[in-house]
Amino acid sequence: MVVLQAIRVIGLSLVAFLVALALTPVMVRILKKFHIAKQIRSGADTPIFSQLHAKKAGTPTMGGAIIWITVLGMALLFVLFDLFFGGFWTYLNFVDRAQTYLPIAAMLIAAILGLADDIMGVLKIGPYGGGLRMTQKLVLYLLLAIIGALWFYYRLDWSVLHIPFVGNLEIGWWYIPLFIFIIVASAFSANETDGLDGLAGGALLFAFSALAVVAFAIGRYDLAAFGGVIIGALLAFLWFNIYPARFFMGDTGSMSLGITMGIVAMLTNTTLILPFFASILVFESLSVIIQVVSKKLRNGKKVFLSAPIHHHFEALGWPETQVTMRFWIVSAILSALGLIIFFLERYFII
């Protein structure tokens, strides 16, 4: 049983990789044909960023759509084939009410919101060169997180926070604000990380890999298979997104993956281990918060040369590829540490 499920997860991941790899050249041609390209911020408020990334203007964006198109497309096909043919397709189908309905729905909704924001940016609709205002984005994703929180708390009766090496803590209605924070923080942290070729894709790859391992270990095989499909699609995306990137992820990719990651963490009750799995995302967001607070409280004085922190290292003279690879290494090490914590508690600590 376990071996068959492992084969299923790995097999679905491989299929997703091949599907996304085949679809990506088509996606690139479409993005170029319709001039769906990245607009680089310029001006006195972002001098370092503008100087470092001016050469990337015109690179196609919204490439992250290939990830959710692959994931949601495979989910839909397997549901239909399972419905009409059953048998082997039932074995492959990872769409399950208890395990994957919520992350699939959240991925779809966040992808559509991100897609709208990306399109507004390309068409220069909205303030600061186009796109939704930060307050508008925050309200939209807060609403999505609130709906998810209420569903988990009232419909699924989830109200427990698992503390590693301590156990489950009943937190009652405090689960609702915790859920909202995790989902919104995950979404915007993924978005902040999407600033260098391959950076966000690699960081999310390690996070979803760790979460898929956890899901498999606790017997949530459909959720693990869902994670495997995301991993395969992410690998194909990275094939074209590593330096020099053929396209960028865009909000449609980063926001949908960030929210999905947060929900999978809640479903596996690994909220307090998630910062290890998504360490780079945490560092990126913290650097932005520290920078903003410092400028507010210290009369414009900055802690970092530029924020998020990957731009700080670029400003120090690190090549973009060096920043990305070193961040990947940190992500891999801390994801492994998170898994060690999980397995130590689960199998070795009495």
> How would residue 52 be classed by pLDDT, with cut points 50, 70 and 90?
low
Indicate the pLDDT class of residue 220, thresholds 50, 70 and 90.
very high
DSSP character string of 237-279? HHHHHSSSPSS---HHHHHHHHHHHHHHHHHTT-TTTHHHHTH
% of the chain with per-residue pLDDT over 90 = 86
CB proximity list for 53: less than 8 A, separation 6 or greater: 40
Residue 214 reports pLDDT greater than 60 = yes
**What's the rounded mean pLDDT across residues 116-132?**
87
pTM for this predicted structure:
0.95
d(CA 52, CA 263): 34
Exposure pattern of 211-236 as b/e (b: 16+ CB <10 Å)?
bbbbbbebebbbbbbbbbbbbbbbbb
Single out the residue of 234, 224, 101, 216 nearest to residue 155, CA to CA. 101
Domain ranges within the chain, ordered by starting residue: 2-348
Complete DSSP assignment for 175-227? HHHHHHHHHHHHHHHHHHHTTSTTHHHHHHHHHHHHHHHHHHHTT-HHHHHHH
Closest CA to 115 of 238, 236, 254: 254
| Average pLDDT, rounded, for the chain | 94
